[in-house]
Amino acid sequence: MRYAADENTTDCEDPDLPLEGVHLQYSLPPYSSWNDIQYWTPSSSASGPLYTWNQYQMAVPSVAFSSATKIRWYQDTTSTNYYDHWGVDEVQIVCPQSQNIFWSNGPTNTLTQTVTPTDTTEYIIFIFDSLGNYFTDTLNVNVIPTPSADFVAESPVCINYPSTINFTGTNSATVTYAYNFNGGTVVSGSGSGPYEVTWPTAGTYTITLTSTDGFCTNTETQTVTVNSNIIVTVSSPNASVCPDSSVTLTASGGATYAWASDPTLNSDSTASVIATPETTTTYVVTGTSTLGCTGSSSVTIDIFPTPAITVSPVPEKGCIPLVVDFNPSITPNANAYEWNFGDPASGAQNTSNADSPIHVFSNSGQYDISLNVVSVHGCPGSIVFPGLITAYDVPLAAFKPDSTTLNLMNPMVGFTDMSTGASNWYWDFGEPSSYTNYSNLPNPSHSYGATGEYIVWMVVDNGFCADSAYTIISVFQDIAFYVPNAFSPYNEDGLNDIFVPSGIGAGMGDNTFTMRIYDRWGKIMFESSDFYTGWDGKYNGDFAHPGVYTYFIEVQYADKLWRKFWGRVTLVK
């Protein structure tokens, strides 16, 4: 690059003080600081080499060797209010020509070399430039060993009988394997093996294995001889049987036979065997020809499932007469049903052949339910449900109150239980405001706190079935009735001027009271039907003669019963 400062003393003066020099700096991410590469220090005389164009060359520190590096020219101090006048030109960033090259394995001053390592080797290059800087780099060359391709193949085999191919070498996990089975069919296997391979025709077949590890490969071959084999078949009259049933299996196509060992076969070396499978079973037989070639076949005998039986009675428990709807679930479906309800007292109704029967249990007790079925496959099934149904007796609720009519002077009533078959009692005396409104005693009592009619309910049960009864209790107002025996209306002083009875709970309503006053000769002196209207001692507007008079009163109490009162009253002057 070129750099120069201006000697002129114009508005843009030159950097003429040592502190007014120019910095060449670099910065690296995150660009929070700047570092000097070069600093041009001016003189106070504004003369010297800095004030003419000169060529400069500076080495960039190796730490700044990055495409992210920023470079700047920067003056941080001026002596006046003006900016100093200086400039740079022809800036170039170049890599100096290398002067010395060294390789860790020996060669010098060459940028390329050819190596033939026998093991994995590390190569290092050192490059020094003319400024004394050096650079280095490392290359690792991995040497991969030749992979093994050793394997063995089972031979001879028969047509369509698998030959087992096993890899016998040892390789690293990076090796890949490519087999060529020369027209054979892979029954199983992958990678290095083992493989099961068959051939469809007789002959000699060459098998090739190529093992590859990166750029390295290895190939080996083996031969397999394939002889003609035989076809063996197995026949059975039935493919499925019921549990505990037998079936005859017959093999053909070979000279001799060997059945795979199975305890449910009666023989393992005859053409025909009898099988009694307990579960679905596959029977395998191998036939051998007179030439030694074999063939195998198999047959699977399925076991029809024993019918799985569940019964959902609705209901399972209840009070007699208990009507139960039986809903069976049979898997697989059934073609025939035979029910027994364990209820011989029901006579012919104790059994049924319906699929979902209904039975009425008239007597209390527990009943065992049994069901026999035949599945759609012809397999029988049976089950017994002990105590599945429970029928209970029904109690009879009855009671007697001491009285059905009470008054508030004597509001207590007792109840006598007359139920049969009851073990629990629940009473509601019809007075929910009372904290003694309920009772669980068989013979309770209750005291009523107000007049009215109360429905008393009794519910009894025996732990399973219930019955109820009720009665009505009437509670009336307290009854008190008083008739005076004398009065003095003549003085009209407002005291004891009127002859009138008084009472509580009696004759206070319309049409519930009559009163008549008679003189000694039986003449009616006064008559009233109003409980609150009495005799003022007058007859036809004038006071009657003082003396003794007879009264006759009829009163209807709150209990709706009429009561009669009679007696004498003295009119005092």
Write out the DSSP string of 66-78.
STT-EEEEE----
Q: 45-49, 381-385, 416-420 — which is least confidently predicted?
A: 45-49
pLDDT at 521 over 60: yes
Q: What is the per-residue pLDDT for 82?
A: 61
Q: What is the per-residue pLDDT for 19?
A: 77
Q: What is the per-residue pLDDT for 78?
A: 75
CA angle (267, 272, 275) in 5-degree steps:
60
**Which residues neighbour 281 within 8 Å (Cβ) at sequence distance 6 or greater?**
262, 264, 275, 300, 301, 303
Q: What is the per-residue pLDDT for 549?
A: 96
Summarised one tens digit per residue, pLDDT across range 179-195 is 999 999 999 999 999 99
Q: What is the per-residue pLDDT for 238?
A: 86
What stretch(es) of the chain map to CATH 2.60.40.10?
151-227, 308-392, 399-476
Q: 14-23, 160-169, 562-571 — which is least confidently predicted?
A: 14-23
Instruction: Determine the distance from the C-alpha atom of residue 168 to the mean position of all C-alpha atoms in its chain, rounded to a whole number.
Output: 53
Considering only the top CATH level, what class is 151-227? mainly beta
Q: What is the per-residue pLDDT for 276?
A: 93
Phi, psi torsion values for 545, nearest 5 degrees:
-70, 140
Half-sphere exposure of 203 (CA within 13 A, CB side): 10
Mean pLDDT of 371-384: 94
CATH fold, domain 399-476, is: Immunoglobulin-like (2.60.40)
Q: What is the per-residue pLDDT for 193?
A: 93
Residues 303/245, Cβ–Cβ less than 8 Å:
no
Summarised one tens digit per residue, pLDDT across range 272-288 is 999 999 999 999 999 99
pLDDT at 353 over 90: yes
Mean pLDDT of 390-396: 95
Distance CA 262, CA 275 (A): 9
pLDDT band for 559, please (50, 70, 90 cuts): low
Residue 519, token pair as written in the block:
């003189």
**Pick from 257, 300, 254: nearest CA to 277:** 300
Residues 361/387, Cβ–Cβ less than 8 Å:
no
pLDDT at 138 over 70: yes
Distance CA 563, CA 530 (A): 16
The amino acid that residue 341 corresponds to is F
Summarised one tens digit per residue, pLDDT across range 188-227 is 999 999 999 999 998 999 999 999 998 889 999 999 998 8
Q: What is the per-residue pLDDT for 214?
A: 82
Level-2 CATH architecture, domain 308-392: Sandwich (2.60)
Q: Identify the burial level of 389 via C-beta atoms within 10 angstroms of its C-beta, where 0-12 means exposed, 13-18 middle and 19 or more buried.
A: buried
pLDDT at 9 over 60: no
Q: What is the per-residue pLDDT for 42?
A: 79
What stretch(es) of the chain map to CATH 2.60.120.260?
2-89
Q: What is the per-residue pLDDT for 208?
A: 97
**Pick from 485, 528, 479: nearest CA to 505:** 479
Residues 224/155, Cβ–Cβ less than 8 Å:
yes
Summarised one tens digit per residue, pLDDT across range 317-342 is 999 999 999 999 999 999 999 999 99
Mean pLDDT of 460-481: 89
Alpha carbon distances (Å) from 2 to 23, 36, 88: 14, 17, 5
Q: Looking at domain 233-303, does it have CATH number 2.60.40?
A: yes
pLDDT at 10 over 60: no
pLDDT at 529 over 80: yes
**Which residues neighbour 358 within 8 Å (Cβ) at sequence distance 6 or greater?**
323, 324, 325, 326
Q: What is the per-residue pLDDT for 12?
A: 60
Q: What is the CATH number of domain 2-89?
A: 2.60.120.260
Q: What is the CATH number of domain 480-571?
A: 2.60.40.1220
pLDDT band for 493, please (50, 70, 90 cuts): confident
Residues 50/38, Cβ–Cβ less than 8 Å:
no
**Pick from 553, 572, 556: nearest CA to 564:** 553
pLDDT at 506 over 60: no
Residue 407, token pair as written in the block:
């008054």
Q: What is the per-residue pLDDT for 332?
A: 92
pLDDT at 45 over 80: no
Q: What is the per-residue pLDDT for 316?
A: 94
What stretch(es) of the chain map to CATH 2.60.40.1220?
480-571
DSSP sequence for 392-425: EPPPB--EEES-SEEETTB-EEEEEE--BS-SEE
